[in-house]
Amino acid sequence: MTGTRLQGKIAIVTGGSRGIGAAIGEAFAAEGARVVLASRKDEELDRAASEIAARHPGAVRAKVCHVGRPAEVAELVAWVEREMGTPDVLVNNAGTNPYFGPLLDATEAAFDKTFEVNLKGALACTREVVRRLVARGMPGSIVNVASVMGLAAAPLQGVYGMTKAAMVSMTRTLAVELGRSGIRVNAIAPGLVDTRLSAALVTNPELRRAFTDRAPLGRHGEPAEIADLAVYLASGESSFVTGQTFCVDGGYSIA
């Protein structure tokens, strides 16, 4: 199934090799965007890009990038501009969660790595894209993939939750600062979704039920259910929407 909701858009999706990022890349390509998937590992990245390209020829390319390294982020966005044109959609989806346990027991290394990727990486990517959009007087859409763990207490995932709470704050601030330039900034806060990042929760019946028993819909989500909202936020359909964080969590956050 193909559409035209993102026809003419050039989009960068970080963390695009699997899970939510790959699903967003697929959905964007299906709606007519030209998409660059970015991730740290070239083998998984190339596989994801090839699978999407098989269904949407010419719509997707892959570029290795560690978003926690500013020089690589700068090269990624410069490469996209040289090869395809100025990107007008950015999805900050790359994330990591190396530590699971009490917040006070988190090591400095785990703390630094989580903030480096989840927050500093998203800000670096946004800076590089926005700089080009403003210079050219172009509108754009930034979509940050946060988490319900950033909207409430996050026991055993405290460091991860802190980065996502900061991402929500960053979303609001950038929406105010960039709105007059025609650049919209929004966030998606997924609940428990079946991805490799959340595998420790999804595959553990007791931990999984802590989410699914509370959520009114009684189940975990799938990556494609997050991608549908990302398409809306990247498209002109959301032209009057900025600074918002949308929970996609089966109702977990309201229970």
- Token digits of residue 162: 């802190």
Q: Give me the catalytic one of 99, 160, 232, 252.
A: 160
Q: Are 38 and 14 in contact (CB under 8 A)?
A: yes
Whether 160 is catalytic is: yes
**Residue length, the chain?**
255
H-type helices in 11-143, by residue range?
19-30, 42-55, 70-83, 108-115, 121-136
> What does the angle CA 115 – CA 120 – CA 121 come to, to the nearest 5 degrees?
105
**Rounded Cα distance, 208 and 228, in Å:** 23
- Report the interhelical angle of 121-136 vs 158-178 (nearest 10°): 10
Q: Are 15 and 66 in contact (CB under 8 A)?
A: no
Which residues are catalytically annotated? Answer: 160
